[in-house]
Amino acid sequence: MQSITIQDFRSLLGEPIAILDIRDKGAYKENHLPEAISMPTTSLPNRLDELDKNTTYYILSHSGRRSEIIAEFLNNQGFQAIHVIGGMKALKTAAA
């Protein structure tokens, strides 16, 4: 499974990349990247048909724990998923 540091991920922001924000809808609504697609962990397995196997997805959670699990799950399903280390928590810290 591939991972990306928050610094490398930040350098990609603004480019045409696919970001899946797997936090719950409340956390997404409170704070999210404008280009991120909300796909909470609980609904993701039922929404795989919305994803394209030819697209690389950057998986973003609160602290990076769930994104690692979901990236591995997606990779096992034939998708290209990259775990964003540290998640939104690290992104917020890096921006400060």
Q: Could you report the per-residue pLDDT of 67-90, keeping only the tens digit for each?
A: 999 999 999 999 999 999 999 999
Whole-angstrom distance, CA of residue 16 vs CA of residue 54: 14
Domain boundaries, the chain: 2-95
Long-range interactions of 34-41: CB distance < 8 A, separation 24+: 36/60, 41/66, 41/70
Is this structure's pTM higher than 0.85? yes
Whole-angstrom distance, CA of residue 79 vs CA of residue 74: 5
Architecture of domain 2-95: 3-Layer(aba) Sandwich (3.40)
Percent of the chain with pLDDT over 90: 92
| Vertex 89 angle, CA 87 and 93, to 5° | 120
Q: What is the mean pLDDT of residues 14-32?
A: 96
